[in-house]
Structure 1
Amino acid sequence: MEALSGTLLVGRSFEPMRGRVVVEDGQIERIEETETTSTDIILPAFVNAHTHLGDSVAKEAAIGLSLDKAVAPPDSLKHRRLAAADRSDLVSAMRRTLRFIERTGTVSCLDFRESGTAGARALHEAAASVSLDPFIFGSGKKSVLDVADGYGASGANDGDFTEQRAACRKRDVPFAIHAGEPDATDIHPALDLEPDLLVHMVHAEQDHLQRVTEQSVPVAVCPRANTVLDVGTPPVRELLDHTTVALGTDNVMLNPPSMFREMAYTVKQFDVTAREVLRMATTAGAEIVGLDCGVIAPGRRAALLVLNGDSDNLTGSVDPVQAVVRRATELDVKRVLV
């Protein structure tokens, strides 16, 4: 049994509470409100709702390129680099990125893994030596579901994914798909597949939002990557008003997979509150794929992030939620309990 004391950001509302969280056998046993001298800030560990870890072999290689030239299948720079990468180098690069993700407070990432079954197996190998367990959305043929946790489609304009969607239903695993990143033409076709997750939705319009609500489809947004690729800005406020929205960092080749950077950028660029952004970075991603984390509550998995509230950066902060979302960095991380 272990107890972590300080300012706890409890429940789905992240209401600050002075006290301690008691952990036993990997679960939150109880939460106690009590006086404490600890200046630590304790919150749920992050869930990064959209990554491409394979890009770790080509960091910064696509700077200045358009979406099509940088990451679009099948002939973009990313896909050429992935095809040319030695498997051991790819596994090593993904493992190092996973270590960075883990050290900076993330308990899981929902990864779109290219290269079919071989790609999914490579990510499993990369994750074998870290505590973080990525949720793998595989690609290619439906047989990838033998080794992946779900299916991740590149986009409805890139091919027919009907067979893969049916396979996901049969196995009761999630089907996710990119939509509305370069333009709006693939959003309705993506929704026709009745996905469990849409990614990006930069160009979502009112009729798309209506369908998202009717179909109860959550959305993962990646604002920094959208900015780098110059495809526009997602309507985050409107999306939040219509469905569950989670936060992702997208391609490692474009941005470091830092949820701190993604949160700070999102809260300052969009009409959203700090609490909404923190929920996007924790609870939302966990709930989308059924992970037992993302919230501090009794009976839940003890996936926790401890920040040093007395760090040179955070000391003097008057609102711990605002401090976490707007100000905190990797240097403030005191401990990650996963």
Structure 2
Amino acid sequence: MERDGAVYEGTILRGRELEPVEGRLVVGDDGRIERIEEASVDSSSIVLPAFVNAHTHIGDSIAKEAGGGLSLEELVAPPDGLKHRLLREASREALVGSMRRSLRYMLQGGTAACFDFREGGADGVRMLREAAEGLEIDAFAFGRESLEAMEAGDGFGASGANDAVFDRERTATREAGKPFAIHAGEADASDLNPALDLDPEFLIHVVHPEAIHLDRIEDRAVPVVVCPRSNLVTGVGLPPIEELTARTTVALGTDNVMLNSPSMFREMAFLSKLSDLSARQILRMATVNGAELLDLEYGVLEPGAYARILILDGGSDNLAGAIDPIRAVVRRAGVADVEAVVFEEPVD
């Protein structure tokens, strides 16, 4: 929703470190955060930056929970994996409608942006644009399969360096000033070096890095997007997230809607209980870090940032009595605890 000159009260998770402060967040008429005031307030709300889902495939919304028991290759490998067959068989109307439902669901859960790897070439990009029309979520389209898809979209999303040679697409994205991202190290380590040779803006998955890959990722400061629920469902294992976070910027994504709901709440809770990362690190992965991948002017609550805010009811039956608000957000909160989703439109 859009509000001009609004004030939001409660426990505010301020700045890049998500420091909990009691007080008020003031939004100016230009849609940007004007200031954060520390003060005693009569509100149990938890005010945090809206989520950035850094890797989705929402075209799969047409086939939720299909393919139980299939391997990763049988599920999603192009061109004949189950999801690609189902996408080819579905009507355009059904695809757009199902994607719109997933985008609406993400909005309800406080997601301000998703980075979607688009199947279907340039027309797939247009379908995402159609599905997102009139919705406040920023659905970034990483075109696939052709340069035309990249030109129509916001970047290029490569399937993996073992699937094809992407030198031409890498050059074209650089010339267009758009990001190039690529799946790498999901099933095994064999495609990590060739993926890194392409100098991507970020990698997806990195479940099986070896020492040489971790060194290259750190030396080149290549960000990584991890999707732990998807990795577990497809049986490829879990990435070494603690080591990755020690080496580079790590963001969080939910991957294929066929396999998982596009819920950042569920992704955070899952990761928090399967890793030694702190709740603050995980919440940064779901907000600040994801926004930094595309230099978005939100994803953090600080003066000057666009006001894209998620407000949780800290007095709900689920969250009341929580001692640590960050742990409560990461490990416990859900859509039922959402009090408001505030996406101010920038006015420059």
Residue 145 of structure 1: how far off its partner (Å) = 2.4
1:9 aligns with 2:17: no
Residue 119 of structure 1: how far off its partner (Å) = 0.3
Instruction: Give the structure 1 partner of residue 346 of structure 2.
Output: none
CA distance in 2, matches of 1:262, 1:94: 19
After superposition, the C-alpha distances for 1:112-160 in whole angstroms (9 at most, x for unaligned) are 0111101000000000021101111110111222210000000000001
Identity %: 56
SS in 1 for 2:138: coil
Query: Structure 2: which 5+ runs fail to align?
Result: 344-348
Choose from 23, 26, 39 the match for 1:19.
Answer: 23
Report the AA paired with residue 163 of structure 2: D
Choose from 266, 269, 272 the match for 1:267.
Answer: 272
1:168 aligns with 2:143: no
Choose from 76, 79, 88 the match for 2:81.
Answer: 76
* TM-score, scaled to structure 2: 0.96
* TM-score, scaled to structure 1: 0.99
Instruction: Give the structure 2 partner of residue 48 of structure 1.
Output: 53
SS in 2 for 1:334: strand
Report the AA paired with residue 184 of structure 2: A
CA distance in 1, matches of 2:58, 2:144: 13
Alignment of 1:104-183 (within 5 A): 104-183=109-188
Choose from 228, 248, 254 the match for 1:249.
Answer: 254
CA distance in 1, matches of 2:206, 2:151: 29
CA distance in 1, matches of 2:147, 2:169: 5
SS in 2 for 1:158: coil
SS in 2 for 1:213: helix
After superposition, the C-alpha distances for 1:64-114 in whole angstroms (9 at most, x for unaligned) are 111001111110000001111100110000001000000101000011011
After superposition, the C-alpha distances for 1:275-316 in whole angstroms (9 at most, x for unaligned) are 000000001110001111110000101000000000000000
1:219 aligns with 2:230: no
Instruction: Give the structure 2 partner of residue 39 of structure 1.
Output: 44
| Aligned residue pair count | 338
SS in 1 for 2:107: helix
Instruction: Give the structure 2 partner of residue 96 of structure 1.
Output: 101
Query: Structure 1: which 5+ runs fail to align?
Result: none
CA distance in 1, matches of 2:156, 2:58: 15
CA distance in 2, matches of 1:292, 1:128: 21
Please report the RMSD computed on the Cα atoms of aligned residues, expressed in angstroms. Answer: 0.7
Report the AA paired with residue 166 of structure 2: F
CA distance in 1, matches of 2:201, 2:49: 23
CA distance in 2, matches of 1:27, 1:200: 33
SS in 2 for 1:134: strand
